[in-house]
């Protein structure tokens, strides 16, 4: 099983930008922690970050046939990108949306997520630990999907 982690704009600046909001860990540190959890669960994990909306849409589409689930932090595109929302919906893969800060406690324009409605869940305000929770959640979702497929195959015999 494989999880693709897609990170949106400015997340490459973690550890440098607005540490009071986003913390001091760099994106590579967060990814290293996620990789450990995935490895412990026998899951392959791949990371992608872009500041460009079209590249994020392309990467989501590339997940079809390549990945079993997506963990995504669309960052600022969360609140503006119908294209990213539609790409998540189009691939029909389980997705979990993650935000380091609690978007519901921030500026009003950040309260609305266009992408959350097409995701299995949303984790906000847990800092880097939110990514840890997302991997655990995705592992559980993928195991449930696998169990359902197995049960259906057995029932057809």
Q: Which are the catalytic amino acids?
A: 22, 99
How many residues does the structure list for the chain? Answer: 157
DSSP structure class, residue 73? E
Q: Return the bridge partners of 11, or none.
A: none
d(CA 19, CA 15): 6
Q: Which two tokens stand for residue 154?
A: 């057995």
Sign of the CA dihedral with 59 first, then 65, 66, and 69 last: positive
């Amino acid at each position: 099983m494989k999880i693709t982690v897609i990170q949106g704009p400015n997340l490459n600046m973690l550890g440098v930008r607005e540490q009071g909001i986003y913390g001091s860990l760099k994106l590579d540190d967060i990814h290293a922690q996620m990789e450990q959890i995935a490895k412990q669960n026998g899951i392959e994990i791949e990371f992608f970050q872009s500041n460009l909306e079209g590249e994020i849409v392309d990467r989501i589409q590339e997940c079809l046939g390549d990945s079993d689930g997506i963990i995504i932090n669309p960052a600022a595109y969360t609140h503006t990108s119908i294209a990213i929302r539609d790409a998540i919906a189009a691939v029909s893969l389980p997705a979990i949306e993650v935000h380091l800060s609690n978007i519901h406690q921030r500026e009003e324009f950040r309260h609305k997520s266009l992408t959350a409605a097409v995701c299995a869940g949303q984790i906000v305000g847990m800092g880097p630990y939110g990514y840890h929770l997302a991997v655990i959640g995705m592992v559980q979702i993928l195991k449930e999907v696998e169990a359902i497929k197995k049960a259906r195959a057995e029932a057809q015999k």
